[in-house]
Structure 1
Amino acid sequence: MKVSRIVQENIAYMNELLPVQESYDIVERDIVIGGRESCFFFIDGFMKDEVMSKLMDTFFKITEDQMPDTATEFSRSFVSYVEIDTFSEYDKVIKNLLSGAACLFVEGYDACIIIDSRTYPARNVGEPEQDKSLRGSRDGFVETIVFNTALIRRRIRDPHLTMKMMEIGKSSRTDVVLCYMSDRVNTDLLALLTRKIEEMQDEDLKMNQQSLAELLFKRKWYNPFPKFKYTERPDTATACLLEGKIVLMVDTSPSAMILPTSIFDMIEEANDYYFPTLTGIYLKLSRSLITIMTIFLTPLFLLFMQNPKWIPDIFEFVLVRDTVNIPLYFQLLLLELAIDGLRLAALNTPSMLSTPLSVIAGIVMGEFSVKSGWFNSEVMLYMAFVAVANYTQPNFELGYALKFMRLLLLTLTALFDWVGFAAGCIITVCSICFNRTVSGESYLKISKN
């Protein structure tokens, strides 16, 4: 439907479409501009009061003989703000209003004047909690997409950097930005992502970025290795853009989605590049070795405990000497669940209590559980190493993928001894080797810097 020249008809239609009387935050403000009846519609909380005060002060000074013939001429002559536009269709007017812009209807104009003077509530661009760097920038993405794109634009002053805004969902109308370097990006992947996002118009991003990831790629449930890399660091996103990757950012999400992503991209972090080459290589190798140990340490321990004759004399000290009241497999399984329980409890624990409660949990889980006979000290040691080592790589999804592989290895080893361990190793390797990125490339492909 088109915007009418009669302002009362526009007001009536806007009140019919929107719950102006019921919703306190949708504000209707009737004013007179140049002797003509006019009306503002805006969302309380998104509006900058000082900007609107200056604009209205300008409007009240306009005389009847100064009023131009069209809304476009009016916006050019009297709206002293940078981001303005005019729309003659109500669909676009409603979209901009609900996004936070102010809508101005003036008697005699067949178009609505959109004044984008909105401001979103946002926190400071501080360093992310989960992806910290020993050296380098201390800023991070926030929930406001405009701030996030500005953090990237600040680092890449290249005309090839493109920020393509798209919208998903009939109800949520979530803003999504495709960020890429037009001279380096894989054009086939870009076309594929653009087509998939355009086909999502009926889908609402109920769970924000995770919903977008599920819609973009219907991954197989039995392969837990992640298809996307997430980061809250602008410098990491910038480095990936300069490598030819695509960065997807969703409004209200403080992280960026990077694709395509291989297993080697998953285990990288910013510290690898903020130190000299030798130090960076050492950090990568040590983290990779520790990551591999988190998968195989406890299954290997279980395998050798089931076959003590395989242990060389020099390593006989690793044998469990104490009485085993509960089978080792069930001890390891219980501790895997207990560690996840402590992690989930820490998320919901008030910050002032997290330290004392973690100390109490450590004492109870450590000393008392061994003395009570539930667990052996060797099992506690190896599981403690696995629990701490999981935090050497920042990717949360990869950490749980490795955990599932470890549980599979433990179960197969407990059931079928060395045959089960060998089968578990083959399944783990195949899960990585036969996995594919969103672009269809190998999961083992090394990025070219």
Structure 2
Amino acid sequence: MEKIKEVHISPHLKENTDYIDDLIGVGKSWDILAKPFSYGNLNLMSYTTNGFFLTMNMVMILENLEKSIGDFIAKHSEEKFQLDELVDFLNTNVSFVQVQSVPKMYDAVRFILSGTLIIFIDGYDQSLLIDTRIYPMRSIAPPMTERLIRGPHDGFTEAMLMNTSMIRRRLRDPRLRVELMQIGSRSQTDVSIMYIDDIVNKDILENIKNRLKSINSDGIIMGEQSVAEWIGRVKWNPYPIVRYTERPDVAATALIEGHIVIVVDNSPEIIIAPITLFQHLQHPQEFHSYPLFGTYMRWIILLSVLGSTLLPGVFLLCNQYPHWIPEWMTFFKAQRSDPLPLWTEILLGELFIDVLRLAVINTPQVLGSAVSILASIVFGQFASSIHLLQPEVMVYIAFVMIMEFATSSYEVAEANQMSRIGLLICTALGRKWGFLIGLIGLFVLLLRTKSFGIPYLWPLIPFRWKNGLVEVILRRPIVDITGRPKVLIPKKQKRKGT
């Protein structure tokens, strides 16, 4: 694709068609359509990609285009016209579509492969673009994650245009900006950056834009995850520095707060950046419940995060030092000695649950219930009777899995699993000092993590109460929320009347 950038559109039609036919495989690729036109002495060649339009719509557009070009040629039969004159005439006379000139061969090829109709005209060093696209897409459906009992049930689709319009539907702000760029030298994936111009921090915005422009990859096929890893420069830190959401209301709320939203074509999840750990833990259901119950839900999520991370390590530590356990907490004691060490049993329980989860995901739906029944029999009865796993281990692993599923962010839950396993291994190797070292290591990791320069543990470190930690602990009434997260350094801190 880099070589195409050096190619200019020739005023000679045959040179353009020879180049295009060889480059994109006209005659070899059945989905590339090429159709010549001729009006008097004017010769044209059009290109598009099949599957991006409705046949009847295209027939109507081509009939309208033929008539319009014929009328224009009749008015300029004895004089040479400028291409801009033809563009203006077609914009006025061709119905329902956008017409514009394309001066670069690189852009012309990109538009052909993205489904627009490109027309080369003999004698002109520019091409015409007529937008006839109707992207293939599934219908709007409830999100797979972040499900609600009450509230809107529309979720993003794989079509970027549909996703941006769903956000626009909720934010009719004239200051909402949607900037388009293409990423990937081969995939040429469309990416939209959305922000509210008079709220967003321009330094953070320019940082994210520059990172997007610097992506040096031939394909962004895995959508939002590929983009997030490139711009976040993700290595081996498991904690996500962007938030993914399938909900338009969550994306619109993030924009209001001063975040930046990145919409990647072909992905039903959009990226919210920058983000903190505690913002990951907010669930939209909290804001579709009354404040008291929303606050209760938030505490449940926070406790689930702590429990799913620390419980196996604490359970192992208590059994390494059983004299620490008071009488009313004897349920923390393992009641028997098995051939395998306790830490090995806990780790095996983790692995068994993950194997089961993958089996359910990969099993055809009609067989999913059979897999679940088989797993419940094996894990629930025989694993204990053959002394592979203790009953207490299975109970605590089940608690951990439930708390992991209760975590509002799937990505944070995955990261907590890695931390949980790390703490378990540290405790097995170093007992109480290993557990302490593991905790300190986890804290240092979170302390050093930043999301595009934003501290990951804010508002705990650095500490901030108003418009900070109070929003983490409490789901305050909407009427009492007057500010935006200070850590984002928004242009407008106050929310009311802006």
Q: Normalized against structure 1, the TM-score is what?
A: 0.94
Change over 3 Å in CA distance of 1:75–1:262 after alignment to 2: same
The one-letter code matched in structure 1 to 2:87 is S
The one-letter code matched in structure 2 to 1:331 is E
The one-letter code matched in structure 2 to 1:236 is V
Give the stretch that moved more between structures: 375-384 or 294-303: 294-303
| Of 87, 95, 98, the match for 1:75 | 87
The one-letter code matched in structure 2 to 1:41 is Y
Say whether the 8 Å CA contact 2:250–2:284 is kept in structure 1. Answer: yes
Give the stretch that moved more between structures: 163-172 or 84-93: 84-93
Find the counterpart in structure 2 of residue 338 from structure 1.
352
Find the counterpart in structure 2 of residue 11 from structure 1.
17
Cα distance, 1:428 vs structure 2: 2.1
Find the counterpart in structure 1 of residue 63 from structure 2.
57
Aligned partner of residue 146 in structure 1, secondary structure: helix
Matched, 1:148 2:160: no
Matched, 1:106 2:107: no
Q: Could you list the per-position Cα deviations for residues 238-294 of structure 1 after superposition, in whole angstroms to 9, with x for gaps in the alignment?
A: 110100000111111111111111011111111111111111111001110121111
Cα distance in 2 for partners of 1:2, 1:323 equals 78
Matched, 1:281 2:281: no
Give the stretch that moved more between structures: 170-179 or 60-69: 60-69
Cα distance, 1:199 vs structure 2: 2.3
Aligned positions of 1:205-224 closer than 5 A: 205-221=220-236, 223-224=237-238
Aligned partner of residue 275 in structure 2, secondary structure: coil
Unpaired stretches in structure 1, ≥5 consecutive residues:
none
The two structures, once aligned, show a CA RMSD in angstroms of 2.0
| Of 314, 319, 333, the match for 1:300 | 314
| Of 27, 49, 54, the match for 1:43 | 49
Cα distance, 1:5 vs structure 2: 4.2
Cα distance, 1:111 vs structure 2: 2.6
Cα distance, 1:34 vs structure 2: 5.5
The one-letter code matched in structure 2 to 1:75 is V
Aligned partner of residue 136 in structure 1, secondary structure: coil
Give the stretch that moved more between structures: 189-198 or 6-15: 6-15
Cα distance, 1:36 vs structure 2: 3.4
Change over 3 Å in CA distance of 1:34–1:281 after alignment to 2: farther
Cα distance in 2 for partners of 1:290, 1:74 equals 64
Say whether the 8 Å CA contact 2:301–2:408 is kept in structure 1. Answer: no
Q: Could you list the per-position Cα deviations for residues 116-152 of structure 1 after superposition, in whole angstroms to 9, with x for gaps in the alignment?
A: 1112211112111122111111111111111110010
Say whether the 8 Å CA contact 1:39–1:106 is kept in structure 2. Answer: yes
The one-letter code matched in structure 2 to 1:330 is T
Cα distance in 1 for partners of 2:407, 2:389 equals 28
Unpaired stretches in structure 2, ≥5 consecutive residues:
1-6, 460-467, 469-484, 487-494
Aligned positions of 1:319-358 closer than 5 A: 319-358=333-372
Give the length in aligned residue pairs.
448
The one-letter code matched in structure 2 to 1:256 is I
Cα distance in 1 for partners of 2:157, 2:213 equals 25
Say whether the 8 Å CA contact 1:67–1:74 is kept in structure 2. Answer: no
Matched, 1:26 2:26: no
Cα distance in 2 for partners of 1:148, 1:33 equals 40
Find the counterpart in structure 2 of residue 183 from structure 1.
198
Matched, 1:118 2:133: yes
Cα distance in 2 for partners of 1:59, 1:236 equals 42
Cα distance, 1:405 vs structure 2: 1.4
Give the stretch that moved more between structures: 75-84 or 282-291: 75-84
Say whether the 8 Å CA contact 2:142–2:154 is kept in structure 1. Answer: yes
Aligned partner of residue 258 in structure 1, secondary structure: strand
Cα distance in 2 for partners of 1:357, 1:124 equals 31
Aligned partner of residue 158 in structure 2, secondary structure: coil
Aligned partner of residue 244 in structure 2, secondary structure: strand
Q: Could you list the per-position Cα deviations for residues 146-200 of structure 1 after superposition, in whole angstroms to 9, with x for gaps in the alignment?
A: 1110010110000111001111122111111111111111111111111222222
Find the counterpart in structure 2 of residue 390 from structure 1.
404
Cα distance, 1:17 vs structure 2: 2.6
Q: Normalized against structure 2, the TM-score is what?
A: 0.85
Cα distance in 1 for partners of 2:76, 2:142 equals 50
Say whether the 8 Å CA contact 1:34–1:66 is kept in structure 2. Answer: no
Say whether the 8 Å CA contact 1:42–1:97 is kept in structure 2. Answer: yes
Aligned partner of residue 105 in structure 1, secondary structure: strand
Cα distance in 1 for partners of 2:143, 2:181 equals 26
Q: Could you list the per-position Cα deviations for residues 307-363 of structure 1 after superposition, in whole angstroms to 9, with x for gaps in the alignment?
A: 111111223344322342321111001111111111111211111111221122112
Identity percentage over the alignment? Answer: 33
